Amino acid sequence: MIENPFPELDMVIHSPARLQIVSALVLLEEADFVYLLNVTKLTRGNLSTHLSKLEEAGYVAVEKTYKKNRPLTILRLTVQGREAYKLYRKTLLDFLK
């Protein structure tokens, strides 16, 4: 039997949009929705969908509040999210070596 030469990548992070989100958040303690919108250039709906998937996986913590009657969504990468990103990065780099 032939061994699969390709690494098993975390498909939650592997999507280009979610990889962008996680890569942006990994450098920060927290960021809001508007920042991620500017950085990723995704549409509001698209960004919301990807954030929901990351939240479901336990990689991103979402805190919805209000500031001066304006909705404010604060996003943080969880410890699990940081670990998953590290592992994803290592797996990909090892494969590409």
Query: Is the distance from CB of 81 to CB of 19 less than 8 angstroms?
Result: no
CA–CA gap between residue 1 and residue 5 (Å, rounded): 12
| Residue 10, number of CB atoms within 10 A of its CB | 17
Is 1 a binder of another protein (CB under 8 A)?
no
CA–CA gap between residue 24 and residue 28 (Å, rounded): 7
Question: Which residue, 7 or 46, has its beta carbon nearer to another protein?
Answer: 46
Q: How far is the CB of 67 from another protein (least distance, A)?
A: 8
Residues 20-79 touching another protein, rule: CB under 8 A, are: 27-39, 44-45, 47-48, 70-74
Q: Which residues here bind another protein, judged by CB under 8 A?
A: 27-39, 44-45, 47-48, 70-74
